Amino acid sequence: MRKALLIVGMGALLTVQQTFAHGHSHGKPLSEVEQKASEGVFDNANVKDRALSDWEGIWQSLNPYIQNGDLTPVLEKKAKQTGKSISDLEAYYKAGYATDIDTIGIENNVMEFHVGKNVSACEYTYAGYKILNYASGKKGVRYLFECKDARSKAPKYVQFSDHIISPRKSLHFHIFMGNTSQEALLKEMDNWPTFYPYNMTKAQVVDEMLHH
């Protein structure tokens, strides 16, 4: 039955995500604390637990966009902001976005991973969060989830990072996945596959990245 999850839930989930894609709805406006947290500045006391429902929906990988050159306008803007070369930024994001997962579906605590025609799924349980201190002086939070089903081919350990530190619906996310341990994943800093709502067009994804 789990294989049918995305198909069955597609209509309802896409209806919700059309709000994001077409209206750029970000829900209630960010508070000052939430805005600063999105920039990597926050008080640890403001970090709260979150449920997997914050990431519920159907999501598409950005990997094809960076590989196809579709994100060049985004790279050009970042180059002007940072003073780094476009080629260096492109290499950085190609390594960061790299994944063979095309789409991810999340519903009722079950995550589905689609790689071509192959689908793996598992029900995930919350395993808390970790606050990371980066070399830049900024901070981040990863929300940890685990698959307990030994028969599942889905990743045993999953971590979400989306610049949000308390309960709120995610609008895009970076995901870390592996089968070794949560501790091993927490050390991963170079590969952070990134996902946006499934029904956003290429133009909408680029616009979102440029302006939000």
Model confidence band, residue 30 (pLDDT cutoffs 50, 70, 90): confident
pLDDT at 48 over 80: yes
What is the chain's mean pLDDT, rounded?
Answer: 89
pLDDT at 1 over 90: no
- Reference 102, options 153, 160, 60; nearest CA is 60
Q: What is the pLDDT of residue 51?
A: 98
Model confidence band, residue 27 (pLDDT cutoffs 50, 70, 90): low
Bridge partners, 194 (sequence order): 174
What is the pLDDT averaged over residues 44-49?
A: 97
pLDDT at 23 over 50: no
